[in-house]
Amino acid sequence: MPVRAIRGATCLTADDKSEMNEAVAELLLDMLTANGLTPDDVISVLLTSTPDLVCGFPAAAARGVGFAEVPLICAQEIDVDGALARTVRVMMHVETDLARSAVTHVFTRGAQVLREDLAR
């Protein structure tokens, strides 16, 4: 079965652990739903957050929505002047029969501006 990477991102209104958990969970579930997948189809997930988010690990939210057995890693985005603030980005690697061109990338809560060409 082919391996595909699905991109996603979400923005927070504040550096708040509760909001991070809610936003990341929503994003990951939307990414699965948009591509007809379940956590069993996920190989691994890379999550990054901007330097202004220090309230918690985005991976903690992933574990809470069915990713407990999926390898997860968090990293910090590079600190670029003018970059979109309070943003969590996701690169999800999955097994799927979808063609690369059929993969739906998901951007929520204002993160659509990162990739307007990919945002639905």
In a domain, 36, yes or no: yes
Nearest one of 10, 20, 29, 14 to 89, comparing CA atoms = 10
Three-state secondary structure of 6-47: EEEEEECCCCCHHHHHHHHHHHHHHHHHHCCCCHHHEEEEEE
Q: What is the residue range of 46's domain?
A: 3-114
CATH code (residue 83) = 3.30.1330.40
The whole-number pLDDT of residue 116 equals: 66
> Based on the structure, what is the number of domains in the chain?
1
In a domain, 120, yes or no: no
What's the token pair of residue 11? 């923005």
pTM: 0.93
The whole-number pLDDT of residue 114 equals: 78
Quick check: 56 and 21 in contact, CB under 8 A? yes
In a domain, 47, yes or no: yes
Q: What confidence tens digit (pLDDT) does each residue in 89-115 have?
A: 999 999 999 999 999 999 999 888 877
In a domain, 119, yes or no: no
Quick check: 16 and 56 in contact, CB under 8 A? no
Q: What confidence tens digit (pLDDT) does each residue in 39-95 have?
A: 999 999 999 999 999 999 999 999 988 999 999 999 999 999 999 999 999 999 999
